[in-house]
Each structure stands twice: as C-alpha cells, then as structure tokens.
Homo-oligomer: A and B are copies of this chain.
Amino acid sequence: MTSREQALALDALDPLGTLREHFALPPGVIYLDGNSLGALPKATPARLARAVQQEWGDGLIASWNNAGWINMPRRLGDRLAPWIGAQPGEVLVGDSTSINLYKVLHAALQMQPPGRRVVVSERSNFPTDLYIAQSVVSDHGGELVLADAPEDIPALLDARCAVLMLTHVNYRSGRMHDMAALTRLAHEAGALALWDLCHSAGAVPVDLRGADADFAIGCSYKYLNGGPGAPAFVWMHPSHAGRARQPLTGWLGHAAPFEFGTHYRPADGIQQFQCGTPAVLAMTALDASLDVFDLARKLGGMAALRAKSLALTEAFIAAVDTHVPSASLQSPREAALRGSQVSIALPAEVDGYAVMQALISRGVVGDFRAGEPGLLRFGFTPLYTRHVDVVDAVALLVDVLATESWRTPEFQRRSAVT
C-alpha cells in the first residue's frame, strides 16, 4: 500500500515522468480510460493544422507526392512495427480493426485445406471480432467455436481448426494471453494464429515475430493515442507473402495502381492489404502521437513502459484490496497475465454504472461494462498516468461508496454510448 506522499515520491523518480508533459490532459481530471480513447498529445493540433492548411490547402493534389501522403500507410506501419515486434515493411496502417480482421481472417482461412474450416476464439472476445468471424466462417462453410475460459483453448485446437483468433489482452478483464505459447500450440495443431492487439499495442510487450504469429490487427485510438476512430493496422508474417490473399481488393492493394489496369493483380507482401485511398488527416494525428513513443524509446522503451504499467496496476489493486474490501478484482493478480487495465466488480446491491458516473463527476474517468458481473474498468496508460493518480482515484472511489453519492438520479441515466 502506497501513501499519497510515497506516490508523489515515486512520480518524482519516474524515468517516464516527463512524458506526461506531452499530453493535453484537462485540469482536475484523472484519466483512467486511455484503454478506450487515448489522450490528446500536445503536438497533435499543430501537426494536424499544418496538414490541413499547408499540405491540403496550399499543396492541394500535389501533396500526394510532395507531402508523402501516398506512403503514409507504410511509413506509419514502419513507425509502429518496433512496438509490436514486427520489422519494417511488414505493417500497414489504415481502415478499421473490424475491416482488417475481415481481410486477415479471409486470407488465413483460404491458406488452409478445405478440411480445416473452424475458427477458435473466446466467448469473451470483443464482439466485433466475433461478428466478423461469424461472417467469414459463414462464407467459407466453416464454424466459429468459442472457448468459455482460456484454459479450454488448447483442447479446441484440433485437426478441424484453421485459425486461432484471439485478442491478446481482453477488453473486459484485462487478462493477457501468452502469445508465444498459444501460437506454438496452434501451429502444432496445424492452425494459424491471428492476434488482435487493440488492448496491447503501446501498452504491453508484443513480439509478433518472436512468437512466430501469422497475422495481427489492432487499433490506434487506445494506448497509441491516435484520436477518436483513428486508423487501424494490419500485420502479416512475411513468410505468408504471395500465399495470403485478401478479398477487399481496392486499387491501392494493386501491384501497380497508377497503371489503372482493368484486372486486379495483388501487390507483394503487406501492401496487398491496403484497399482504398488512405485517410490522410486521421493518419496525420497518429503520426504526431507516435512522436511521443519515439521519446519513450529513449527513456527505456517498452521495458520501462511495462514496468511502470505494472507498478500502477499493482498499486491500484493493493489500494482497492485495502480500502474497498467489498470490491472483487476481475483482472489477474498475477502480473504476467495482466495488461494495462484493472477491472473490479462491486456487490450486486451497488449500481456499478452509477458509481462510475459519480466517479466521473468527481474527475476520475474510467468506464463501465455491463455483464455478469458489471465491471468498472480503469486503464493505466504508462505514458501519462501518475502514481498519485492511483491513490487519488481510489480515495474518490471510497468516498463515492461511503457517501452513496452514486444514488443521485442523474448518475443512473444511461447514455447512448456506455
């Protein structure tokens, strides 16, 4: 258990402490929802303004060449690559997570023999992954088989399994899979391993090449701070180049798009996974946010980010254990199994949604996920969250519960997005 003074002392010694200065966090807010929407980097507004006014406004159509717009999907992919254990030229930025999942899942299924048409995943996976998989297996006469618990996954990797499709860090519990071990099990069973890195990229160590994974996708609006609805990314193991084919055959996945030929001919490697014209303004915001990661690399890189993330989540768990004994931890206690968030459940007689609204009104921004049990989720982005934020957030949670301020009617009202 850390006192507020101890937390301030830890913050003063934090080797990553200067990074917080690069974010435009509103005063009085303890932002613990960077696992849903990352905070705004201070450099983003000016970078975006330059892209809009100089590149678009003054440069107009010539900026496709002169400002390098046409290369952005590959250039941003190269910037992202070291944070997910990929090599330059292997990652492409663009489209959404759901669309990129559709591409790679199609490609993976078509690489497998007709007898393998089962996609194995988890019932607790983020719904869009399950929905996309349902569509793709239906197109292939296949089946989506869902494990109820992580321990059940290995037994499902049989001779019918084409693809093991998992989200590395679970969106509800924050539980992290052992990517290398599960990929190995998938390969031993003849299946391909496809990883969703939405809750991993920029927050926890990811080593796609080291794990020998086959495909990966993810978003850039959570821990990567690319902005609301920022472009997603897609990665393929380079050994699959030339064999994997994806169905969203837009012109910029063509081997020679500016020949304007009549017949589609896929580009080599990951470039084939590009589809339409890149969303330049959205990519520009991501480009700016990746500058903060360049600074983080100089301050210790992912090892330092992970160490701080674990220190924050451990301090939060310890403080909740002590001060909110009625709460039950819904995230792993074991550090190796934990991503960069902590979820807790409150007793059934306490309206967790209303508690979160009351907390938000006090300046502590997490979120609530309905279900059995309903979860209060708290994300601890190591780039800008401080140890003192952990102490203050738990103190405010204690106060909301003690005063029962969550019973105020305004905190019960559900919003469109929950």
List residues of A whose CB falls within 8 A of some B CB: 24, 26, 29, 31, 33, 36-37, 39-40, 44-45, 48-49, 52-53, 55-58, 60-65, 69-71, 95-99, 102, 123, 126-128, 130-132, 134-136, 139, 146, 219, 221, 227-232, 247-251, 253-254, 257-264, 275-283, 285, 360, 365, 367, 369-371, 415-418
Q: Which residues of B contact A231 (CB under 8 A)?
A: 279
Partner of A24, one of B57, B69, B96: B57
A417 near B281: Cβ-Cβ < 8 Å: no
Given contacts A60-B39, A131-B251, are A416 and B96 in contact (CB under 8 A)? no
A264 near B131: Cβ-Cβ < 8 Å: yes
B40 near A53: Cβ-Cβ < 8 Å: yes
B40 near A96: Cβ-Cβ < 8 Å: no
Min Cβ gap A94→B in Å is: 9
B250 near A128: Cβ-Cβ < 8 Å: yes
Interface core residue of A261, A263, A280 (most chain B CB under 10 Å): A280
Min Cβ gap A23→B in Å is: 9
B232 near A276: Cβ-Cβ < 8 Å: yes
Given contacts A95-B99, A132-B248, A279-B230, are A61 and B415 in contact (CB under 8 A)? no
Partner of A365, one of B61, B123, B219, B264: B61
Min Cβ gap A418→B in Å is: 5
Min Cβ gap A114→B in Å is: 16
Q: How far is the CA of A253 from the CA of B131 in the complex (A)?
A: 10
Q: How far is the CA of A253 from the CA of B123 in the complex (A)?
A: 19
Partner of A250, one of B57, B99, B418: B99
Nearest B residue to A260 via CB reads B127
* Sample (9) of A-B pairs whose CB atoms are under 8 Å apart: A45-B52, A49-B49, A69-B229, A70-B416, A95-B99, A127-B257, A228-B277, A229-B276, A230-B279
Given contacts A96-B250, A123-B262, are A360 and B62 in contact (CB under 8 A)? yes
Nearest B residue to A44 via CB reads B52
A52 near B61: Cβ-Cβ < 8 Å: no
Q: Which residues of B contact A69 (CB under 8 A)?
A: 228-229
Q: Which residues of B contact A280 (CB under 8 A)?
A: 227-229
Q: Which residues of B contact A56 (CB under 8 A)?
A: 37, 40, 227-228
Q: Which residues of B contact A62 (CB under 8 A)?
A: 360, 365
A260 near B134: Cβ-Cβ < 8 Å: no
Given contacts A64-B416, A128-B250, 5 further A-B contacts (CB under 8 A): A31-B60, A56-B227, A136-B247, A229-B276, A260-B369
Q: How far is the CA of A126 from the CA of B415 in the complex (A)?
A: 42
Nearest B residue to A58 via CB reads B26
Q: Which residues of B contact A135 (CB under 8 A)?
A: 247-249, 264
Given contacts A53-B45, A99-B99, A416-B70, are A365 and B60 in contact (CB under 8 A)? yes
Q: How far is the CA of A257 from the CA of B128 in the complex (A)?
A: 9
Partner of A65, one of B39, B53, B263, B417: B417
A26 near B264: Cβ-Cβ < 8 Å: no
A229 near B45: Cβ-Cβ < 8 Å: no
Q: Which residues of B contact A61 (CB under 8 A)?
A: 33, 36-37, 365, 367
B263 near A134: Cβ-Cβ < 8 Å: yes
Q: How far is the CA of A285 from the CA of B39 in the complex (A)?
A: 20
Min Cβ gap A360→B in Å is: 7
Partner of A254, one of B131, B249, B371: B131
Q: How far is the CA of A155 from the CA of B159 in the complex (A)?
A: 50
Partner of A279, one of B65, B130, B136, B279: B279
Given contacts A98-B248, A99-B250, A254-B131, are A64 and B417 in contact (CB under 8 A)? yes
A130 near B418: Cβ-Cβ < 8 Å: no
Nearest B residue to A59 via CB reads B26
B134 near A264: Cβ-Cβ < 8 Å: yes
